[in-house]
Amino acid sequence: MTTESGIVYGFDTRQFSKPVFELIAHKKACSNAAFSPHLPTMLATVGTDHMCKIWDIANTNESGTLEPKCILAKDMKQAELFAVQFYEDIPWVLATGGSKGELAIWDTEEDKQVFEHFKPTLDKSIISQKKKADKGLENADEPVEEDGQSSGFEDVDSSDGEEKKPKKSKKQK
C-alpha cells in the first residue's frame, strides 16, 4: 500500500493486522508500486518527487527482520510520476507515466547495479529466453523467409532509405 507521505506498507494477504514491512520510499507522495512478474522480490515505486525506485523487499537486517533496500533510484524526466508497471514478458523492463502525459520506459537491466543484484534470483528459463532474444536482435538484419502471404505492401530495398509502399490495386471487371 502506498501513501501520500511517501511510505509503502507491505502486507501478507493472509493477515492484515500488521504490515510485514514498512519503507520510506519517497520524499513526497508515493503514487504507485508494482512487482516484477519474474522477480518476486523486485518492487518498483514511483512518486510525486519525480523518482522511480527499485527495491529488494527480501533484504533483511542483522536481527532477521525484513528491511527493504533501495537498489537504484532514477529521475524519469516525466515530472510527478503517477503510474508504474513492469512489462509482463521481460523481468527488467518497466514503464512509468507522469504529469507530462507521456510514458517513460526503463530497461533496468542496463543498470549494472540492478542486474547484478537480482541476477542470482532469476529463473534459469528466463535467462535462456533473454539469451535467445538477444541473439535474435543480433540477427535482425538477416533476411527472413516469407510464408508466401501477401502483406498488401510491395517490398522496397530499405538500404536506399525508402519505406514499403502500398501495392497498386488492380480494377476488377
Per-residue model confidence as pLDDT tens digits over 65-79: 888 999 999 999 999
Write down the mean pLDDT value for the chain: 81
Residue 125 has pLDDT above 90, yes or no: no
Superfamily classification of domain 7-125: YVTN repeat-like/Quinoprotein amine dehydrogenase (2.130.10.10)
> How many Cβ atoms sit within 10 Å of the Cβ of residue 84?
24
CA dihedral 126, 46, 82, 8 (to 10 degrees): 100
pLDDT in tens, 31-53: 999 999 888 899 999 999 999 99
The band of 85, judged by pLDDT with boundaries at 50, 70 and 90, is: very high
Top pLDDT among 84 and 19 is at 84
In the chain, the amino acid numbered 157 is D
Give domain limits for the chain.
Answer: 7-125
